[in-house]
Amino acid sequence: MGLKILLPDADITYIENFYAKDDADKLYQQLTQTLAWRQDDIRMFGKTMKIPRLQAWYGDNNLRYRYSNMTLVAMPWTASLLSLKTKVSDYCQHDFNAVLANMYRNQHDSVGWHSDNEPELGEMPVIASLSFGAKRDFQLKHIKTQEKKNLILDSGSLLIMQGETQNYWQHCLPKRARTIMPRINLTFRKITR
Ligand SMILES: O=C(O)CCC(=O)C(=O)O
Ligand SMILES: [Mn+2]
């Protein structure tokens, strides 16, 4: 199971039907209704702005995660997040202890170019990313060569980025002009300090 995305300095696998479409639809509804979605502020260039998406941070007791000058304190696992984490951890043979949930409400919501390389994730983090709801483009860009790759993340899919990926590649989820329905993304992570 799973498709290796063949790129230099990366170890990326895409599993399109990690969840069957019916299950993915149910999970999308459940997560929409049960997670504590909020729109946080971000400080950039001395200005405070709303991030262009909703998010929620869950994990083992009070784990903290800092990025873009925000400190998120983990809320306790919900039952559905815990069962998703167990399935993803079993598949990846990796012990995740936190998840960042993102809700892209429409085509105007996005996440800019970045690597998941915060110090608390350690040197070669394993990032496991589940998608539910509308399909979105997910772009990758090599930091040195600027090589680009576009993936389409479908509902029920799992994307695993590991090895050197975060050290050489950035990724983003771009805004789009055409109408796009909401999408939920869960990125499971392991905070190591
Ligand atoms: O929504 C996605 O697929 C990517 C989210 C992401 O890169 C992140 O939360 O770090
Ligand atoms: Mn990311």
Q: What is the CATH number of the domain that holds 52?
A: 2.60.120.590
Tell me what pLDDT residue 96 has: 97
The protein residue with its alpha carbon nearest to ligand 1, atom 10, reads 116
Lowest mean pLDDT among 61-65, 95-99, 163-167: 61-65
Segments forming the whole domain that contains residue 150 = 3-189
Residue 67 has pLDDT above 80, yes or no: no
Q: What pTM was estimated for this model as a whole?
A: 0.95
Of ligand 1's listed atoms, the one at least distance from the Cα of 187 is: 9
Separation of alpha carbons 17 and 155, rounded Å: 8
Residue 16: CA count within 13 A, CB half-sphere: 5
Tell me what pLDDT residue 99 has: 97
**Contact criterion met (CB below 8 Å) for 94 and 128:** yes
Rounded to an integer, the average pLDDT of 103-130 is 96
How many domains are there within the chain? 1
One-letter amino acid at 81 equals: L
Tell me what pLDDT residue 110 has: 98
At 73, the pLDDT band (50, 70, 90 cuts) reads confident
CA of residue 171 to ligand 2 center, whole Å: 6
Tell me what pLDDT residue 128 has: 98
CA of residue 39 to ligand 1 center, whole Å: 15
Lowest mean pLDDT among 42-51, 66-75, 153-162: 66-75
Tell me what pLDDT residue 42 has: 84
Separation of alpha carbons 106 and 91, rounded Å: 30
Which ligand lies nearest the alpha carbon of 65? 1
Q: What is the rounded end-to-end Cα distance, in angstroms, of the chain?
A: 32
